[in-house]
A = this chain, B = another copy of it.
Amino acid sequence: MSAGASAVGPAATAGPVRVVGTGLLGASVGLGLRALGVEVQLSDPSRTAVLLARDVGAGVPADDASVPPRLVVVAAPPDVTADVVRAELEAWPGAVVTDVASVKSAVLAELRESGADLTRYVGSHPMAGSERSGPTAARPDLFAGRPWVVVGSPASSGEAVLAVRNLAVDLGASPVMLDARTHDEAVALVSHVPQVAASLVAARLTAADPAALDLSGQGLRDVTRVAASDPALWTSILTANADAVVPVLEALRTDLDALVDALVTARVATASADAGDGDDEGAAGLGDGPAPHAVVARTIAAGNAGVSRIPGKHGGVRRAYDVVTVLVPDSPGELARLLADVGAAGINLEELQLDHAPHQPVGLASVSVLPGLGGRLETELTGRGWRLAG
């Protein structure tokens, strides 16, 4: 049923489709539908945003439209989404209305309370985005290959759910049917809490000595990458999804408290052992309290267990790939030459990670291949003149 990234051919979506909010997501929906020949009407509080979206080919301004829409896609900030959806449901009594906000329960609760016609509303959350924003960053393929969560309510009609699912498939996404609460708890775990953790770690660096920052490696860069995200958007997301985010953060804090206590205990035990001859009451004192080393080890082991559950490429269980790390001179074409050599060896590259040390004219490319192929790849690459690193 899933169309995948290579979906082409006639659209299942019946137009006209009205897009309300022509930023990155809304304009990308318009572009994708236009590429399939579907009529798209563009609306935004900012006339400039509408004209820009029109100029990139996302549709025509809604003011110029004469036929009422059959589907409305609300791509507004999360905190105003419910109000906009309600207004659209009232304005277009023949249309199905969806939204693309990244929280779903809060929007649905507000709509329910407002007495809106929920038979024609189905929520959406396409799991796509970009560091860039605005209609000029829009792409017809923004959603290609991504999950698109479709959130019907008990009141939603079957036709409305189907219309939104068709929209997702038409745009090359993989529709995933979830209820609002399940969706919100899922994104709290896989997106919102990781965002908070990244921001909290990165915030510790604001006063760091530059010498400390020079020791940064790929680990720090990976943990903090998403900390560069937009504060206004994330304030809206986190407050709107507080019901799902708070319990996860509280559980994380419980683990953090236990870890800090364990480290403080370990520190006190070491200090008192140092004060003695290293073998007397101090060391004995270690046995009296909780076992701090066990608490620390349990924390790291729980992380091992959790990370092993994240699906890898193709949705399978994460595989332990063989990793071959190669020194790559920093000049155009070198990485391409490396990957051409990997391909020439007949070995498929599963993952690739680039690492750069400060002040070095060379990069480290970590090439992941299926288990068992690493040795042969090393032989092939060294035979072609590449230098391997650790």
Contacts and interface: CB of A to CB of B under 8 A. Distances in A.
B354 A352 contact: yes
Given A5-B327, A214-B147, A227-B303, A250 B260 contact: yes
Interface string A319-352: 0000101010011110110011011101111011
A311 B235 CA distance: 27
Contacts of A144: 327, 362, 387, 389
A63 interface: no
Contact of A336 (B206, B304, B340, B358): B340
Interface residues of A, number: 156
A22 interface: no
A162 interface: no
A152 to B, nearest CB: 15
Given A147-B214, A189-B208, A360-B5, A303 B202 contact: yes
Given A204-B306, A306-B205, A199 B300 contact: yes
Most B CB within 10 A of own CB, among A187, A246, A303: A303
Given A197-B200, A224-B310, A340 B346 contact: no
Interface stretch (A44-52, A67-75, A88-96, A263-271): A263-271
Contacts of A352: 335, 352, 354
Contacts of A354: 351-352
Contacts of A216: 190, 310-311
A200 B343 contact: no
Contact of A274 (B109, B313, B315): B109
B204 A251 contact: yes
A284 interface: no
Interface of A is mostly: helix
A241 B142 CA distance: 44
A86 to B, nearest CB: 12
A105 to B, nearest CB: 11
Given A201-B193, A303-B199, A332-B349, A174 B252 contact: no
A296 B174 contact: no
Given A28-B390, A389-B139, A249 B260 contact: yes
Contacts of A379: none
Contacts of A333: 339-340, 343-344
B349 A335 contact: yes
A365 to B, nearest CB: 9
Most B CB within 10 A of own CB, among A144, A310, A347: A310
8 contacts: A113-B278, A144-B387, A199-B302, A203-B302, A235-B296, A256-B256, A331-B348, A340-B340
